[in-house]
């Protein structure tokens, strides 16, 4: 299990837009961290540096001893990212071939790929849909497929970018269940969301970004009363004095 260390990380986009500025953050193995912040606060930009999709303008991200920008392909094996837009992650003609895409690129043997795909389809609950076209799946099923594609690479660290976006209540609960199940398999989980009430009771830490900077971080129950000054809604249960609840409680 590997620690993530983000040191003095800044990213300027080519058009001069500042994505993030001087972020310092450590994430311990096995944590479930929620990263929250208003639209445009830098959440996605930050996380794309953890799996090497963006290169720092200054500063570094380390996963254990690995400096991510020196070996982004290795970083992508350690860190899987489930993107906000599930459609953008679809690469296969069928559910099975979509999930097999990553392991095929790793050069695994056909028998092993098939076994992996079969197991993962069960885990995410897409059984019976193996031969369907991904484009015919519902929003929730597409997100499950995106999770399956990430799981097929067996990463130690999984980032979910707005995992509840556009999902109805049952869809959100199913994704929550997946996240909990993955966390129980000793993985480090990072969740980007501004919908704190769905997940915050499960988190070990809350990190708040504002205008590209790390505005606040800490144990959720300790800092939850401060979130609204950063444009994030305080969960109703907390407002009413019932502490932190998740949608699974």
Partner interacting with residue 29 (select from ligand ADP, Mg ion, none; CB below 5-8 Å by kind): none
> What Cα–Cα distance (Å) separates residue 156 from each residue in 31, 198, 228?
11, 23, 32
- Residue 10 in the binding site for ligand ADP (CB under 6 A): no
- Residue 184 in the binding site for ligand ADP (CB under 6 A): no
Q: Residue from 6, 27, 36, 44 that binds ligand ADP (CB under 6 A)?
A: 44
Q: Residue from 8, 17, 70, 225 that binds ligand ADP (CB under 6 A)?
A: 17
d(CA 157, CA 120): 17
Binding residues for ligand ADP restricted to 218-237, rule: CB under 6 A: none
- Residue 15 in the binding site for ligand ADP (CB under 6 A): yes
Q: How big is the site for ligand ADP, counted in residues (CB under 6 A)? A: 12
C-beta closer to ligand ADP: residue 162 or 197: 162
State the burial class of residue 3 (Cβ atoms within 10 Å of its Cβ: 0-12, 13-18, 19+): middle
Residues 6 or more apart from 70 whose CB is under 8 A from it? none
- Residue 44 in the binding site for Mg ion (CB under 5 A): yes
Partner interacting with residue 205 (select from Mg ion, ligand ADP, none; CB below 5-8 Å by kind): none
Find the DSSP H helices in 38-187.
Answer: 43-50, 72-78, 95-105, 110-124, 139-151, 169-184
Instruction: Say if strands 188-192 and 32-36 run parallel, antiparallel, or are unpaired.
Output: parallel
- Residue 42 in the binding site for ligand ADP (CB under 6 A): yes
- Residue 193 in the binding site for Mg ion (CB under 5 A): no
* Site for Mg ion, rule CB under 5 A: 44
């Amino acid at each position: 299990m590997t620690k993530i260390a983000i040191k003095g990380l800044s990213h300027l986009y080519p058009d001069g837009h500042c994505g993030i500025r001087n972020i310092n953050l450590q994430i311990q193995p096995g944590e479930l961290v929620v990263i929250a912040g208003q639209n445009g606060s830098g959440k996605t930009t930050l996380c794309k540096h953890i799996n090497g999709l963006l290169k720092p303008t200054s500063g570094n991200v380390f996963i254990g001893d690995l400096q991510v920008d020196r070996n982004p392909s290795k970083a992508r094996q350690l860190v899987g990212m489930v993107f906000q837009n599930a459609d953008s992650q679809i690469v296969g003609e069928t559910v099975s071939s979509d999930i097999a895409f990553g392991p095929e690129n790793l050069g695994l043997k056909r028998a092993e790929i098939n076994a992996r795909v079969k197991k993962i389809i069960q885990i995410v609950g897409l059984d019976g849909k193996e031969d369907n076209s991904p484009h015919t799946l519902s929003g929730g099923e597409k997100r499950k497929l995106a999770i399956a594609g990430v799981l097929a690479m067996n990463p130690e660290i999984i980032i979910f970018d707005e995992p509840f976006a556009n999902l109805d209540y049952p869809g959100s609960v199913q994704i929550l269940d997946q996240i909990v199940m993955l966390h129980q398999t000793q993985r480090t989980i990072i969740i980007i969301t501004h919908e704190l009430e769905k997940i915050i009771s499960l988190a070990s830490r809350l990190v708040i970004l504002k205008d590209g900077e790390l505005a606040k971080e800490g144990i959720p129950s300790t800092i939850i009363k401060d979130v609204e000054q950063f444009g994030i809604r305080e969960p109703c249960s907390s407002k009413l004095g019932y502490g932190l609840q998740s949608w699974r409680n």
